[in-house]
Amino acid sequence: MNRNGTRKLVITAILAALTLALGLTPIGYISIQPVEITLMCIPVIIGTLMEGLGCGLVLGGIFGLTSFLTVFLKPTVFSQAVVGASMPLAIVMIFLPRLLVPVVVWLVNRAFRKRAGSPLAVAVAAVAGSLTNTVGFLGLLYVFFVGLLPDLVAAVLAAGTALNGTVEAAAALVLAVPIVMALQKATKRRPA
């Protein structure tokens, strides 16, 4: 394995451990009832920007795994209703948005072409990645559960998207941009 491959593996492992630590402690999923705000996108965003899509997908998968485990380790009436309705459906709803986060981050950063890795590109990619998780998860909830009181479901999910999406996107912006900029400076390289 060459030097870059070793570095990528080590950084992916460190971010994977951080993602697991966040996901299995209250730090990663901050519960302020009636909402739950996740900071889990941040290592996924940083890993994707610094080490590429492969690293991001690994971290997105770990994010999905910790989300899935949270359903059983810290059950709520809502999470039990989702799992009770259909386990395969719950798995898709939990993992798909988490795996789309690195894809969106990578594509948005790439869309900036020569400015990829710039503070603006990182900021837009971080916000887009965070919103992908929120809108993706709550959007899938709406699609799968709209048959149950559609007006109520739509109102609750719209409020959750607005509140969670705004707070989580702001956290991703405030944390991911300076971390990625510092990592670029420390490693003297642009993001992947």
Write the pLDDT tens digit of every residue in 39-62: 999 999 999 999 999 999 999 999
CA atoms within 13 A on the CB side of 10: 7
The pLDDT, as a whole number, for residue 78 is 67
Angle made by CA atoms 53, 136, 178, in degrees to the nearest 5: 50
Given a cut of 90, whether residue 101 has pLDDT beyond it is: yes
pTM of the model: 0.89
| Whether pLDDT at 17 is above 80 | yes
CB 79 within 8 A of CB 106: no
56 close to 44: Cβ distance less than 8 angstroms: yes
pLDDT mean over 60-77: 87
Phi and psi dihedrals of 34, rounded to 5? -95, 10
Residue 100 has pLDDT above 90, yes or no: yes
pLDDT band (50, 70, 90) for residue 192 = low
Assign 1 a pLDDT band (cuts: 50, 70, 90): low
In order, the DSSP letters of 33-88 are TTEEEE-THHHHHHHHHHH-HHHHHHHHHHHHHHHHHHHHHS--HHHHHHHHH-HH
Whose CA is closest to 40, among 27, 30, 26, 28?
28
- DSSP assignment of 113-174 equals GGGTTSHHHHHHHHHHHHHHHHHHHHHHHHHHHTTSSHHHHHHHHHHHHHHHHHHHHHHHHH
